[in-house]
Amino acid sequence: MPGSRDIPKKVLSATTALYPMPAVLVSCAGDTGGRWKQNLITLAWAGIASSEPPMVSIAVRPSRYSHGLISSTGEFTVNVPSAGMCDAVDLCGNVSGRDHDKFALTGLTPAPAQTIRPPIVAECPVSLECRVRHRFAGGSHDLFVAEIVAVQASESVVDAKGRIDVALVDPLCYGGGVYWRLGERLGTYGHSRK
Ligand SMILES: Cc1cc2nc3c(=O)[nH]c(=O)nc-3n(C[C@H](O)[C@H](O)[C@H](O)COP(=O)(O)O)c2cc1C
């Protein structure tokens, strides 16, 4: 294997070059002007923050309509769309809940969460119900770090042992302004030690 000196590199300006990212649908809800409203926002800046307790982080610009809803309740759901839901995911990331009912617009179905008020998205194979525990003002985005308090998964993606089969989820990925789907399965955790 060549040393790093032999691999030509270009120094680029600092940017969020971490690929791939999940493209998720986050649902939120809140009382706006005496009316209970629910909304969907597409996020790619989402990740796991802890396993015990299970926690996720999402980065949301304060200008987003969803930012106000999440701040008001401290609750949201992270819904993992399959690659076939790419059009709906893109739409939810290009219009605002200030002007549109995104469930009506996309035809996606809100279904009750087990533990919190915002709905899950029935068509998404995996949904995480989350309660905000920490909030950090970063730069352009605020980071909400939330405990995953319940998980719902479609029966069609859960195996006999109760584990979620990622291949059946067929999750939608995002990177470089492009939507992707997962490709080949390369190995399992720890396979290099065998
Ligand atoms: C693929 C994709 C990823 C996005 N990721 C984020 C993100 O991580 N954080 C964010 O604040 N906005 C993100 N956006 C933009 C919001 O989804 C978009 O501004 C949306 O219309 C906001 O909706 P709202 O005003 O109803 O909250 C993303 C959009 C797309 C299409």
Cα–Cα nearest to 124, from 106, 105, 109, 114? 109
DSSP string for the chain: ---GGGS-------------EE-EEEEEEEEETTEEEEEEEEESSEEEEEETTEEEEEEE-TTSHHHHHHHHHSEEEEEE-BGGGHHHHHHHTTS-TTT--HHHHHT--EE--SSSSSPEETTSSEEEEEEEEEEEE-SSSEEEEEEEEEEEE-GGGB-TTS-B-HHHH-BEEEETTEEEE-------TTGGG-
State mean pLDDT over 179-186: 96
CA-CA-CA-CA torsion sign (24, 43, 90, 118): positive
pTM, to two decimals: 0.97
Residue 149 contacts residue 76 (beta carbons within 8 Å): no
161-190 burial, b at 16+ Cβ within 10 Å, e below that, comes to eeeeeeeebbbbbbeeeebbeeeeeeeeee
> Is the per-residue pLDDT at 1 higher than 60?
no
101 lines ligand 1 (CB under 6 A): no
Q: Which residue minimizes the CA distance to atom 19 of ligand 1?
A: 93
Domain 20-155+164-181: top CATH class: mainly beta
Residue with tokens 């998980």: 151
The amino acid that residue 85 corresponds to is: M
* Residue 126: predicted pLDDT: 98
76 lines ligand 1 (CB under 6 A): no
Cα of first residue to Cα of last residue in the chain, in angstroms, is 22
> Is the per-residue pLDDT at 164 higher than 60?
yes
Q: Which residue minimizes the CA distance to atom 18 of ligand 1?
A: 93
Between these two residues, 63 and 194, which has the higher pLDDT value? Answer: 63
For residue range 116-138, what is the model confidence (pLDDT) as tens digits? 999 999 999 999 999 999 999 97
For residue range 61-71, what is the model confidence (pLDDT) as tens digits? 999 999 999 99
27 lines ligand 1 (CB under 6 A): no
- Residue 170 backbone class (left: φ over 0; alpha: ψ -120 to 50; beta: rest): left
Binning pLDDT at 50, 70 and 90, where does residue 194 land? confident
State mean pLDDT over 94-112: 98
For residue range 5-42, what is the model confidence (pLDDT) as tens digits? 799 999 999 999 999 999 999 999 999 989 999 999 99
For residue range 49-95, what is the model confidence (pLDDT) as tens digits? 999 999 999 999 999 999 999 999 999 999 999 999 999 999 999 99
43 lines ligand 1 (CB under 6 A): yes
45 lines ligand 1 (CB under 6 A): yes
Can you tell me which atom of ligand 1 is nearest the CA of 63?
25
44 lines ligand 1 (CB under 6 A): yes
Q: State how far the Cα of 70 lies from the Cα of 135, in Å rounded to an integer.
A: 11
* Residue 2: predicted pLDDT: 57
CA of 194 to the centre of ligand 1 (A): 42
State mean pLDDT over 149-176: 97
> Is the per-residue pLDDT at 111 higher than 60?
yes
69 lines ligand 1 (CB under 6 A): no
Exposure on the CB side of residue 176, measured as CA atoms within 13 A? 3
Spans of all domains in the chain: 20-155+164-181
